[in-house]
């Protein structure tokens, strides 16, 4: 069903900034990626979303199209990002039906909770294949079209690009590997690989006008991942450990997407934009002996440890 605009897009963006542009998104039927695409469509873009589940992908495409009257949103189901020929065919169909590919979101991912000694080789390989190889296959399938788009939409940072922006890719990653996360060794390794790939694309394809960046979401409320991979009591504890004091929203990931794809993001290349309310910075104290942030707010002094010297301030 149609969503209220503020559920997926802030009011600061001007309508029409992506007119006549096309976004190609793997994992596009997912909660986060669909919000990213919906925001782009609201602001003028047409879209192709890619997924394995035919019904889910096609239904989501129809739903996203309600973001703007006259929008064209194609849902290509039965496409596995681990199969390069399937992605190449999807990219070709997208260009044939919509005219170009100007922006790409590599968002397909796999996840589950398990310690390393309980992860089989096949399970580890599946996550690596979906996240890392799938991202690689997405780049390979769309890069020729991105290069064409970048050539048409050059920006110098001094004058408004007459035809808008283009030739940009965002990889959807995570913050799990920054400090290490229990039960997530497989995804941590995969997302570290995705980050490295994004940097390589920026370095190698930047001279052709391509920008390649990463968005690393933190805990985002009302998403499939949170619902599937956490318990309610755990969510309450995690939310207290986030400096922002709450879980994020899909709108905040979509806003970051608009920033990187718009004129505002012209000179951002090869970077990781973390959108997590500061959560990864407190991962070492969350759930520890001194509950964050209650202990800090109480004004108490650390006792019982050698490093608990009382302040003289």
Give me the active site residues, please. 173, 191
Structure token digits, residue 297: 């707010």
Lookup: tokens for 278: 């500061």
- Distance CA(224)–CA(35), nearest Å, equals 13
Sign of the CA dihedral running 239, 188, 131, 114: negative
The token pair that represents 193 in the structure block: 């690989």
Rounded-to-integer distance, Cα 26 and Cα 188, Å: 20
Between CA 83 and CA 158 the distance in angstroms is 41
112-119: long-range contacts at Cβ-Cβ below 8 A with a sequence spacing of 24 or more?
112/229, 113/183, 113/184, 113/229, 114/183, 114/186, 115/182, 115/183, 115/185, 116/185, 116/186, 119/185, 119/186
In 3D space, the residue among 141, 129, 236, 148 whose CA is nearest the CA of residue 187 turns out to be: 129
CA 127 to chain centre: 16
Using the CB atoms, write b or e for 186-203: b if 16+ within 10 Å. bbbbbbbbbbebbbebbe
């Amino acid at each position: 069903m149609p969503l209220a605009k503020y559920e997926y897009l802030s009011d600061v963006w001007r309508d029409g900034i992506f007119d006549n542009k096309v976004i190609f998104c793997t994992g596009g039927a997912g909660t986060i990626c669909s919000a990213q695409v919906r925001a782009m469509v609201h602001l003028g873009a047409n879209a192709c979303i890619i997924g394995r589940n035919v019904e889910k992908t096609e239904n989501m495409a129809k739903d996203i199209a309600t973001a703007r009257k006259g929008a064209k949103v194609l849902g290509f189901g039965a496409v596995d990002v681990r199969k390069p020929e399937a992605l190449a065919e999807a990219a070709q169909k997208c260009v044939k039906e919509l005219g170009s590919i100007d922006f790409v979101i590599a968002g397909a991912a796999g996840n589950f909770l398990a310690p390393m000694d309980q992860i089989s080789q096949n399970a580890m390989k599946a996550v690596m294949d979906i996240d890392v190889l799938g991202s690689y296959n997405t780049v390979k399938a769309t890069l020729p079209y991105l290069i064409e788009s970048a050539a048409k939409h050059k920006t110098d940072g001094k004058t408004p690009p007459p035809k808008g922006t283009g030739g940009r890719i965002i990889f959807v990653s995570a913050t799990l590997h920054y400090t290490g996360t229990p039960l997530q060794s497989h995804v941590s390794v995969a997302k570290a690989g995705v980050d490295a790939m994004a940097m390589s694309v920026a370095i190698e394809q930047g001279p052709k006008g391509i920008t390649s960046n990463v968005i690393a979401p933190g805990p985002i409320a009302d998403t499939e991942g949170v619902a599937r991979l956490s318990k309610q009591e755990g969510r309450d504890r995690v939310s207290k450990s986030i400096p922002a004091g709450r879980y994020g929203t899909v709108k905040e990931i979509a806003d970051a997407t608009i920033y990187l794809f718009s004129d505002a993001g012209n000179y951002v290349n090869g970077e990781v934009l973390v959108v997590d309310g500061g959560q990864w910075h407190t991962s070492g104290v969350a759930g520890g002996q001194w509950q964050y942030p209650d202990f800090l707010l109480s004004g108490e002094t650390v006792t019982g440890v050698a490093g608990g010297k009382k302040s003289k301030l």
